Amino acid sequence: MGLIHYIITLIVASTALDSNCGRCPCSWKYFEVTDACYKRFERPRSFDDAESRCRVFGGHLTSIHSFMENDFIGKIAENGTFTNKTDRLTWIGLKRKQKSDQWTWTDGSPYGYNKWAGHPENKTQEKCAQMVSTFTKKHEIVFKGLWHDANCKSNATYFICKKKA
């Protein structure tokens, strides 16, 4: 009986905590246009590791379906710690199908909108997509929200997860 009471208390407490944060869990950002929650994680991971981490939270690496959503995600990608690198690389959930030039989102949604920065080059090993923001030495953003294809096994410092609100 004590275990059941403890579990019910945990469920009620977590529901109360979530309700204080709006439609998304605390530390996630809500975007009304998509009715989805987004969170940027800062830890070097490969594409597959980042996707697995997003699934732990009930989501996927972010899919992007409009200019407005890309701009919203670009702003999330730019926040946080600045490193000495001039490029901030952030995994998004776009992956090229095996032995194909066709791209697909990890959440299964249709691929249509894109913001490629002269890419994809469709090189043999570049089957996953990253959002890139380039900074000057004064930390000014030169461009943001553009995508490029990358090796899925390489580590990007950041990744953004998306889940339904």
CA end-to-end distance (rounded Å), the chain = 33
pLDDT above 70 as % of the chain: 75
pLDDT of residue 13: 41
What is the β-pairing status of strands 156-164 and 87-96? parallel
For 8-29, the three-class secondary structure string (H helix, E strand, C coil) is HHHHHHHHHHHHCCCCCCCCCE
On the question of pLDDT at 143 being above 80, the answer is: no
User: 82 in a domain, yes or no?
Assistant: yes
User: 46 in a domain, yes or no?
Assistant: yes
User: 21 in a domain, yes or no?
Assistant: no
Q: What is the CATH number of the domain that holds 64?
A: 3.10.100.10
User: 106 in a domain, yes or no?
Assistant: yes
User: 62 in a domain, yes or no?
Assistant: yes
Distance from C-alpha of 36 to C-alpha of 50, rounded to nearest angstrom: 18
For 26-53, the three-class secondary structure string (H helix, E strand, C coil) is CCCEEECCCCEEEEEEEEEECHHHHHHH
The pTM is what?
Answer: 0.81
pLDDT of residue 136: 58
Site of tokens 């909108």: 113
Task: Give the count of domains, the chain.
Answer: 1
Q: Which range of residues forms the domain containing residue 123?
A: 29-164
User: 16 in a domain, yes or no?
Assistant: no
User: 100 in a domain, yes or no?
Assistant: yes
pLDDT of residue 99: 80
Secondary structure class of 87 (helix, strand, coil): strand
On the question of pLDDT at 16 being above 50, the answer is: no
On the question of pLDDT at 12 being above 60, the answer is: no
Cα–Cα separations (whole angstroms), residue 51 to 81, 114, 142: 22, 20, 28
User: 20 in a domain, yes or no?
Assistant: no
